Chains A and B, each alone.
Chain A
Amino acid sequence: SAVISQKPSRDICQRGTSLTIQCQVDSQVTMMFWYRQQPGQSLTLIATANQGSEATYESGFVIDKFPISRPNLTFSTLTVSNMSPEDSSIYLCSVEGSGGAEVLVTDTQYFGPGTRLTVL
């Protein structure tokens, strides 16, 4: 499977500040996804990040709050802006499985380890 790393692995932030989370993949992928997993909850898709175009946001998530960059096929960032305690969550990036790479299964997703964010 793809090797995906995220930085930072965890952070504690003050209300009103912003945090940028980085996601690095060891192979080129077309689609990257950002999820939020609130304590005790399942994963909720925030947005889909494609290289060379604007990210596509899901209902309830907006670009001003969660700006995303996708400068190339192996890297993406998610910024959590103007944070409040309600933003405390685990943020995960994932990449699509690609039929072109023999170890990746089409239609699946491969996840990074997550970034645990606590907002005070």
Chain B
Amino acid sequence: SQKIEQNSEALNIQEGKTATLTCNYTNYSPAYLQWYRQDPGRGPVFLLLIRENEKEKRKERLKVTFDTTLKQSLFHITASQPADSATYLCALEGQGAQKLVFGQGTRLTINP
């Protein structure tokens, strides 16, 4: 069956360190994978999209990798700050145009 799994439900990181979140999937062949940030009481906010022919993408302190052989994406936040504390969701292309399927999210807390 198809699955998207984000390996940690919750992750606590010391401020200044790099936070690494994992997203694994099975029985999908997505053309792209995306990462979103969700704060309590708000809708998800798009962060980064990486396509199947891209190995890595960066945006400021964020870096995403996409390994279609391992069926895995890693999401890194370098020089983490307490303001980075949020739930991070990975999402990939589902069946049908524009449909996204979301992982269950990882709740990241950056401790001062």
Chain A residues packing against B (C-beta within 8 Å): 1, 4, 31, 33, 41-45, 48, 56, 92, 94, 96-97, 105, 107-114, 116
Contact = CB atoms under 8 A, between A and B. Distances in A.
Interface string B79-112: 0000000000100011011111111110000000
B89 A43 contact: yes
B90 to A, nearest CB: 10
Given A42-B102, A43-B89, A108-B34, A113 B43 contact: yes
A113 B98 CA distance: 20
Interface residues of B, number: 23
19 contacts: A1-B46, A31-B97, A31-B98, A42-B105, A45-B94, A45-B99, A45-B100, A48-B98, A56-B96, A96-B98, A105-B49, A107-B49, A108-B34, A111-B43, A111-B44, A111-B45, A112-B43, A113-B41, A114-B41
Nearest to B45: A111
